[in-house]
Structure 1
Amino acid sequence: MPTRILNVVTNVGHYDDPQHPTGLWLSELTHAWHVFGEHGFEQTLVSPAGGVVPLEPRALKFPNYDKTAKAWRADPAKMALLQNTRRPDEIDSADYDAIYFTGGHAVMYDFLDSDGLQRITREIWERGGVVSSVCHGYCGLLNTRLSDGSYLIAGKKMTGFAWREEKLARVDKLVPYNAEEAAKQRGALYEKARLPFVSYAVVDGKLVTGQNPGSAKETAEKVAALL
């Protein structure tokens, strides 16, 4: 049986204020997809509601828009994948060895309380699979509880987009909550790099987390190493 990865993407296209668009930070998907593909892993896209995935406009500009993201957008088959993602209720977690939550500020809205994503994550984790996220993807882990009622991230070393980075990106007034603080409140042993926006990934057992968009490749490589 081939190793199989479930990549989680967003359905949200704007902040609370519709005048401010957001969406999937494309390179956070493409960097990981490339790494997983090089290892021969089979990959599936799932989103909280299924269907279309909007793209974060800022991720499509230099320096965020790199060769993997450009190649994805130039490939009609790849772009079609973002038009027809699967819903959580269409996913059997037993088919997957790992789950990888992509980011972009959009995920702060639809990852946080997705019962379907929480079910899949819990089942993969409790079966000994790998749970991973990059950047804001950790919002999908914040409210995920295990069968015993405890938070999955409680007592675990992890990282994710830092509040300092929200301020530097000038979106601290737009985001619906402080994800870094929320992780700490749930008992996570949150870490971050000394400098903002540099690649930083943390492994704690079968939990792998990356801090920001620049961490996607490193995060995926650490997931692949575990698999």
Structure 2
Amino acid sequence: MSMLKILIIVTNIGMYASGNHQTGLWLSELTHIYDAAKEKGYEITIASPRGGNIPVDPESLKHFTLDKISEKYWNENSFRDLLANSELLTDVAQQDYDLVYLAGGHGTMYDFPDDSTLQSIVKHQFENGKKVAAICHGVGGLLNVKLSNGEYLITGKSMTGFDWFEESLARRKREVPFNLEAAIKERGANLKKAFIPMTSNVVVDKNLITGQNPFSSKEMAKVVIRELEKK
């Protein structure tokens, strides 16, 4: 069996438009899938719209949000080097992947939704029956992806993402550029929320896999690997 290839797309944006708060990648939304894929021996590419440095949301480094796996990688120089030198998305867009994974963090709300390279990668991946996964705010990268028939990819799909109540719990309602929950519903997707906010929730709809929030990172990694290894 040949080695599976996965592409993890991350944000380059480290500040809200207001300039009041730092943002970036939510660390656990990268570390858990990275760790699970590494353990399986998959070939992993980490890329971003601009390439280069990946800012990490300082909120995701606080002791109550930093789980063991995230802490382990954060303390590894080699991993920090990966974050400082992500691939440029346009440079890796032509390759074939078994999985394209959109990691989250509020930064993604600024550079994911309208990135044409990201859209074409996701469209190609999805239409070829390959796995597309997105977690938390990373699902914003799916919003404007249109399929060859002109329809939005997420129309009619069951999925999840960071909801508006969670946004108020995170105290970022006034900072975010749009309401992700409303945008998902506007596209005609079937948004499935966790019964209790800020708890793990992963939704699989054929080759589309979505996770609701940072607390879904661990389950998301498990589900994605399980779906990838299905024969």
User: In the alignment, is the contact (CA less than 8 A) between 2:199 and 2:213 conserved in 1?
Assistant: yes
Q: Give the Cα–Cα distance (whole angstroms) in 2 for the partners of residues 96 and 132 of structure 1.
A: 12
Q: Give the Cα–Cα distance (whole angstroms) in 1 for the partners of residues 9 and 48 of structure 2.
A: 6
User: In the alignment, is the contact (CA less than 8 A) between 1:93 and 1:123 conserved in 2?
Assistant: no
RMSD: 1.0
Partner of 1:71: 72
> 3-state DSSP class of the match of 2:209?
strand
User: In the alignment, is the contact (CA less than 8 A) between 1:23 and 1:56 conserved in 2?
Assistant: yes
Unaligned runs of 5+ in 1: none
TM-score for both structures, normalised by structure 2: 0.95
Partner of 2:3: 2
TM-score for both structures, normalised by structure 1: 0.97
> C-alpha offsets along residues 180-201 of structure 1, whole Å, 9 cap, x if unaligned?
1101101111110110111000
Q: Which amino acid counterpart does residue 164 of structure 2 have in structure 1?
A: W
Partner of 2:86: 85
1:1-227 pair list within 5 angstroms? 1-227=2-228
Runs of 4+ residues deviating >6 angstroms: none
Unaligned runs of 5+ in 2: none
> 3-state DSSP class of the match of 1:202?
strand
Cα drift, residue 40 of structure 1: 2.0
Cα drift, residue 36 of structure 1: 1.6
- The size of the alignment, in residue pairs, is 227
> C-alpha offsets along residues 112-171 of structure 1, whole Å, 9 cap, x if unaligned?
100011111111111111000111110010111111111111100000001000011111
Q: Which amino acid counterpart does residue 98 of structure 1 have in structure 2?
A: L
% of aligned pairs identical?
Answer: 47
Q: Give the Cα–Cα distance (whole angstroms) in 2 for the partners of residues 36 and 93 of structure 1.
A: 21
> C-alpha offsets along residues 79-115 of structure 1, whole Å, 9 cap, x if unaligned?
1111111122111454211111111111000001000
User: In the alignment, is the contact (CA less than 8 A) between 1:35 and 1:217 conserved in 2?
Assistant: no
> 3-state DSSP class of the match of 1:78?
helix
User: In the alignment, is the contact (CA less than 8 A) between 1:93 and 1:124 conserved in 2?
Assistant: no
> 3-state DSSP class of the match of 2:87?
coil
Cα drift, residue 31 of structure 1: 1.1
User: In the alignment, is the contact (CA less than 8 A) between 1:88 and 1:120 conserved in 2?
Assistant: no
User: In the alignment, is the contact (CA less than 8 A) between 1:94 and 1:124 conserved in 2?
Assistant: no
Q: Which amino acid counterpart does residue 182 of structure 2 have in structure 1?
A: E
